[in-house]
Each structure stands twice: as structure tokens, then as C-alpha cells.
A = this chain, B = another copy of it.
Amino acid sequence: MLEPDQLSLNIPETKKPRLVIVGGGFGGINLAKKLSGKNFQVVMFDRQNYHGFWPLLYQVATGGLEPDSIAEPLRKMFSSDDYEDFHFRLVKVTGIHPETKTVSTLIGDIAYDYLVIATGTKPNYFGNDQIKKYAFPLKQVPEALNLRSQVLQCFEQANMTKDPATRQSLLNFVIVGGGPTGVELAGALAEMRKHVLPTDYPGLDFTQMNIILVEGLDRVLPPMSEQASAKTHKYLAELGVDIRLNTLVAGYDGEIATFKSGEQIQTNTLIWAAGVSGAVIDGLPEATVERGRILVNDFNQVLGFDNIFAIGDVALMKTPEFPKGHPGVAQPAIQQGKLLAKNLKHILRNEPLEPFKYNDKGSLAIIGRNRAVADLPKNLHFGGFLAWAIWLFVHVMALVGFRNKLVVLSNWVYKFFTYENGTRLIIRPFYRRDDRAKRKFIEKYNAD
């Protein structure tokens, strides 16, 4: 592939105002979908050529789904059949220059009339470089595939050692973070331990496999209701997950995880699902960034600017109802993206802007077969089979594209009847968790 200095953005000149969207996540695509190219020239940048449905990423990591089932190519989503004057570029944005109204990318600068930052989040290791180096994150497709291969390779290798301590280390899986990702991952691993792994690895004793879920607060799923937390705790315990509440991880050197209490667990696999911070881009005034997120007003305008916006997880909109900002899930991003499309049209017509009002549709988390929890509006909390069925329905319907809906549904039906996680291939060309040099290469050349 070519080096960045051989490339240029090649965005055609236009008489329409130019809207630059950084990020093809939930916020970015819902904004762009409402703008069919009639009022604005839309330029979208992303470092991936696809939109990912991240709530299902943990199923890619546990062999339940393939990446293509949860991801949709952005060019397919915005094909020229339906969207005119839409321009996608697979490139990393490196900085914002509000004074000149330009954005810098690895391969050149571009002027904008309106700029939307919809970059989402990145893992937050709270400054612990050792954990950053050795832990397995679960935020991107390659990371999910890498984790899947890691887990399967642990069993392969556990099968090939006679040393009890080594084997135990391979069979200990520590998941840091009791939010939705951590809980759903722990549940999926526990289901695999029951149904799939014992027949795959008759030489291993799966009572030795430990799934340890570590949460710093005093309950799992802290963003959900207490009822949901309690049910989830019960379900996970029934599935044999070792839950450690009020527990913080102090370090991990690739072999030993050390808790703040001093306790140590030997493990080859520590999965980091503990925290995220906004993927803020350089160039905004310091005063606009608070705790890693970009401060915006009710119209998602970045503090002090009327033509720069931030939406979704990277934005921090403080309201009386959400003084610390909206929850970091898909719905606020989707709703902010849609509203911003309206507001941009209002701006063109010199009309007043509409403030954002979050419509909380509720929260769901799946723990295992027939086990899920739901917090619905009007203080409706329940679990069990009904929550599980709702979870499946909501997630299939939310997927982009008919093909993805069909494939995911077929996979789940198949899995329900066969207890099988279909996809257990170990595929990782050149991926080693501790090889940050390669990762740097990727970041630099945008080759992920």
C-alpha cells in the first residue's frame, strides 16, 4: 500500500456548505443518513471502512458471530444510488483547526463549513501502561478476533502441558469491568464452558476453568437498576462466574494480575472492559474537554463554537436530568445524530435550533441462555426468558441491513437448538498482544 505522502483527500469542490463528520459510529451514520446530499456536501472520515454494531462485539469474541454479521461497510450504507455528494475517506483525522476552519488528516487538510466530532470512545487504562500493554481490549473487530483466538489457544495449550500451575494460568480468564461488556462476555464464556468446550477438549477438566469478573463498585451492571444488578449477579453465580465486587486491579504483567488488596491471580488472559474515555481530537481549546469528553450545549455545539458539534459518547452534555452526561450507549448517539441533521437544516434556513431531549428506551443485558435483564421506562424491571427474548428481538432489529439481520438470526436459532457456538477458528495472521510496535504502524498508516 502507498505511504501517506503519496495520497491526497481528493474531495470535489462544491457550492453547497461542506459538512465534515469524523466517525462512522451510531452518531455519525444517523446524522449522515438524514442528509441525502441535497443541502450539504457530506464528507465522512473513519479509520475503518465499516460501521460496527458494537453491542454484539462480545459474540464475535466468543465465537457466536462473524465480524461481517455485526458490521456494515460504510460505502455500502451510503452508496451513490441513494446518497449524492457523499464522500467517505478511510483515513485518520489528526487535528482540528477552528481558527482556519480546517481539519487535518494523515494525507492532507480539508476546509469545513460545519464539523461534527462523532469519534466515540477508546479504552481507558487510567494511566496504567503495564495493563495497556498486556491486557486484551474489546473495542474493535480485530481485537474481538484476537481475543477469540487467544481463548481457544489457551485451551489448546492447556491440553499440551502437564504442569498444573501453567495449565491453571491458561484456564483462568479475568474480566475487568462489570458493565454490559464484562457481564455479557462472562456469561458467554460460562455457557461455552457448559456446552461446547467439554466435548471439544475431552482431555481437560473444565471444573478448573475459572471466569473471574472484577468490578470496582459494589454491584455488577452499575449503570442499570438495582433489581437488574441483583438478578444479573444471581444468573452469573448460577453459571459459575466468580464475581469480585469492590475490587480494583492494580497491575498485570502478562502472567499475574494483582488486585489493590494485594491478592494475585495467575492468568494468561486479562480482558479489559473497565473503562473508556472519549476519543477526543487535538485542536480544541482545553476548556472544552472535561474528563476526556467534549463539552457541548443542548444543540450539541462544542462550547464556544457555533459550527463545531460533538455527538454520542465523545460528547458531554450536562443537563439537569443527566448532570454527568448521558449514558455511553447507542441510543443517545443515535438520537443526537438524528436531531443534529434537523438542526443543521434549521441553521441553513436561519431557524431556531431544537434542544436535545433524551428519550430513554430502557436498557438490556444478556447473561446466558434464557437469561437476560431489562430496565424499561416507567420503572419496569424484569429478567428471565422474557427479557432474553426482548434482548434477541431488539438486537436483531437494530442491526443495519437485511442480510445482517438474517445471518445473525439464523446463527442464534442454530445455536439455540444445537448449543453450539459455530465459529471457533483460530485466525490471527500477525497479531501478538504485546507487540505495540505493530500497533503503532497500524495507527500511523491507518491500515486497520
Contacts and interface: CB of A to CB of B under 8 A. Distances in A.
Interface in A161-179: 161-163, 166, 170
Contacts of A87: 203
Given A1-B153, A166-B2, A160 B91 contact: yes
B141 A425 contact: yes
Given A2-B161, A403-B414, A407-B410, A426 B90 contact: yes
Given A146-B429, A268-B1, A430-B430, A68 B423 contact: yes
A9 interface: yes
A427 B141 contact: yes
A68 B422 contact: yes
A426 B420 CA distance: 28
A130 interface: no
A55 to B, nearest CB: 18
B152 A49 contact: yes
A375 interface: no
A69 B229 CA distance: 37
Interface string A156-198: 1101111100100010000000000000000000000000001
Central interface residue in A68, A146, A198, by most chain B CB within 10 Å: A68
A448 B428 CA distance: 6
A198 to B, nearest CB: 8
A429 B162 contact: no
Interface string A412-435: 001000101011111111111001
Contacts of A424: 49-50, 73, 75-76
A217 interface: no
B49 A426 contact: yes
Contacts of A414: 403, 406
Interface in A194-219: 198-203
A157 to B, nearest CB: 5
Interface residues of A, number: 77
Central interface residue in A154, A428, A435, by most chain B CB within 10 Å: A428
A76 B161 contact: no
B160 A80 contact: no
Contact of A425 (B73, B89, B438): B73
Contacts of A261: none
A252 B142 CA distance: 30
A107 interface: yes
Given A10-B159, A199-B79, A425 B1 contact: no
A69 to B, nearest CB: 8
Contact of A160 (B8, B48, B163): B8
A195 to B, nearest CB: 11
A161 B91 CA distance: 13
Contacts of A426: 48-50, 90, 448
A429 B142 contact: yes
Interface string A59-94: 000000011110101011001110000010111000
B427 A429 contact: no
Nearest to A1: B153
A268 B156 CA distance: 38
A406 B418 CA distance: 14
A6 interface: yes
A403 B422 contact: yes
B49 A160 contact: no
Closest 9 CB pairs of A and B: A80-B202, A430-B430, A142-B429, A68-B423, A79-B199, A75-B200, A430-B438, A73-B424, A7-B160
19 contacts: A1-B154, A2-B157, A2-B166, A66-B69, A68-B423, A73-B425, A75-B200, A76-B200, A79-B199, A80-B198, A89-B160, A90-B426, A142-B428, A406-B410, A407-B407, A428-B447, A429-B448, A430-B435, A432-B447
